[in-house]
Structure 1
Amino acid sequence: MSQLAATLLSAAFLSLGATPIPEPTAVSVVITNLPSNKATLKLYFYNVKENFLVRNHYTLLKHIKPGGSNKVVYPIQLPPGNWAIAVTQDLNENDLVDRNMLGIPTEPFALSNNVKPRFKIPTFEECMFRVSGPTTTVAITMK
């Protein structure tokens, strides 16, 4: 949506007494320590607490090819609010997150805030970051 269209739409909502639509914020997701500089990364974006890490309940899914680098910087526009990201790297390119018999991923993964799961599935609050202001940077290190 162009800046003019967004401004006109917000003005129309305000004239009706409605809450204006928040402007998206530039978010830069920086992922380092990639195990493979070729295998596809999947970035799962969540902004609903109850959906966090629930299969097929992410808000956005982005596929990224590292392009020969062990670091990826991915720019995206997100609405302001609380978000969390889960990242997986599909080393065998089978388009799945491979898991062992206990359901633990056997392929590389990471979470925003660099949360390292120990004996339980991490919570949305542990992985959450706030999108606000003109820009937000999220640094994630693959394990």
Structure 2
Amino acid sequence: MNLLSSVSLLVGTCLLGAAAPAPRAAENQSITVVVSALVSTTSTVKLYFYNTREGFLKSGKWAFSKAVKPEGKREFTLPVELPKGEWAVAITQDLNNNDKVDKNFIGIPTEPYAFSNNIRPTVAAPGFDECKFTVDGPGKVVSIVLKD
């Protein structure tokens, strides 16, 4: 194969590759989670992000989690990138830093907790549908008040 043929083949392959659409990655949207009324200004706050009904509030079934140190403040803002869809957030504040949610003898948390949509359960844990919010574009703000 001569040089001209090789260059033509290379240029043609590059042009064909450039014309083909690249596979699309999941489009993440930037949202902001604002957590207020922290009980402690030093204890870690853990946020658990769920995107399925089946996994909601089940240990290890969250899509991802974040831990935030309040750094002396009673409120913090956390920017997060989420794929479009339905999401729910559960939050706990580990007051004694034992890396678990402490509960009383009937299973009710004794440390502060909260859910997206500021759902305040009275008898049982909330469901995904009560806590869900929709991510359908950038700029969404999810405000959550921690329950003592």
Q: 1:24, 1:111 → 2: CA distance?
A: 22
Tell me how large the CA RMSD over aligned residues is: 1.5
Say whether residues 1:132 and 2:136 are aligned partners.
yes
What pairs with 1:36-75 in structure 2 (closer than 5 Å)? 36-75=40-79
For 2:116, give the aligned amino acid.
S
Structure 1's unaligned 5+ residue stretches are 1-7, 14-19
Q: 1:71, 1:119 → 2: CA distance?
A: 28
2:14 is matched with which residue?
Answer: none
Q: 1:11 aligns with which of 1, 11, 21?
A: 21
1:22 is matched with which residue?
Answer: 26
SS of 2:101's partner is coil
Structure 1 residue 135 displacement after superposition: 1.7
Question: For this pair of structures, how many residues does the alignment match?
Answer: 129
TM-score, normalised with respect to structure 2 = 0.83
Q: Where in structure 1 do 4 or more consecutive aligned residues deviate above 2 Å?
A: 10-13
Structure 1 residue 119 displacement after superposition: 1.0
Structure 2's unaligned 5+ residue stretches are 1-17
Q: 2:21, 2:46 → 1: CA distance?
A: 37
Q: 2:94, 2:79 → 1: CA distance?
A: 21
Structure 1 residue 11 displacement after superposition: 2.8
CA-to-partner distance for each residue in 1:80-106, whole Å, 9 max, x for gaps?
100000000000001111111111111
What is the percentage of aligned positions where both structures have the same residue?
46
What pairs with 1:113-124 in structure 2 (closer than 5 Å)? 113-124=117-128
